[in-house]
Amino acid sequence: MIFGIPRETPPFKNTPEYRVGFSPMAARELMLYGAKFYVESKAGEAAGFSDEDYEKAGAMVVYSKEEAYRRADVVLKVRRPQQEEYQYMKEGSTIMGFIHMVTARKEFIKTAQDKKMTIVGYEIMQDEDGRLPVVIPMSEMGGKLSVQIAGRLLESPGGGRGILLGSIPGIPPAEVVILGAGTLGCNAAKSFAAIGANVYVLDIIRGKLNSLVCQAGNSRITTMFSTKHNIEKLVKFADVLICAVLEPGKRSPILITKEMVKSMRRGAVLIDFSIDQGGCSETSKISPSGKFIYTVDGVIHFCMPNATTLVARTATHAISSGIFPFLKIITKKGLNTALKENYILNRGIYVEHGVIKEEYLP
């Protein structure tokens, strides 16, 4: 099996992309099973992986994006290809990555159909229990990263409330509200609580809240059912509001209205990790200019669709470890057999040989 690793193209002018589709360490391991790799020069540079690292692993470094695409049976991406990459997409080939078809350009879908391609999305690969094996490590990262992002945005120079997340004697800590008790929400809750913030987590599934309570122990985490009444009440005093709601393959539900944002404290921070699926606040948006930090009614919004690119090396390792078992199956059995026989891979198919699955039709 021949894999291609092109250098990632940023989705917008001011939204950088430092991650790469597969690490040299993981590539070396997969080559033990007969895989071959063609890597675009400098594809991993921003994540701390040099061309020499890939060459030492046994990969072939090529000097154009087109070659990385056209030599490959399977192209490993982090994000779906951008408009300027459509021309390189090869007839009958496969692309794997975080595709988020629900927000994709119609031209991308049409190109995949016309060229009879297969498109596999990491974000919809699920096991029989509904777990998302590739998303989980990225969500763990996002949850822990949210503390770094929130702390910086709350600082006075950027217009934040000028408060610490944790308390000091005589001064109360920040109030953090998290929508969603999935992997990202739970990791965010535990991380904020660990530095002393007051944390409130809302979800509609009791089992997720029970699980979080068991994990959190005596931490300052309050769990509540996610109702409109509870959300309206909590956002009014939130210093940080985290949106961590995911419905695989679907647009994120809108849980935060414009009126709720207006009711929030000036200088509060709203971080919408659901933005790559459309966002769960009416005020969340992906600007064509790529400006992912902006202010609405005095509330600082962070809506970066590829937030884990801020820690690109760790993110690349997380992606690589998440997809390695499935690429191993593809290498040993062949793509078509692997997609047919492996339940998780099969669930990740958006488009197969040019035919888009009915549930993902635009």
Catalytic center residues = 100, 276
Look up residue 214 and give its amino acid.
Answer: C
- Burial bucket for residue 362 (CB in 10 Å: 0-12, 13-18, 19+): exposed
Give the rounded distance of the alpha carbon of 48 from its chain centre.
20
For residues 73 and 94, is the Cβ–Cβ distance under 8 A? yes
How close are the terminal C-alpha atoms of the chain, in Å? 31
**Amino acid occupying residue 316:** T
Q: What is the CA radius of gyration of the chain?
A: 21
DSSP label of 17: -
Could you identify the residue written with the tokens 């021949």? 2
Find the DSSP H helices in the chain: 24-31, 51-57, 65-70, 106-114, 135-153, 183-194, 206-216, 228-235, 258-262, 312-333, 335-341, 343-347
Distance CA 276, CA 259 (A): 23
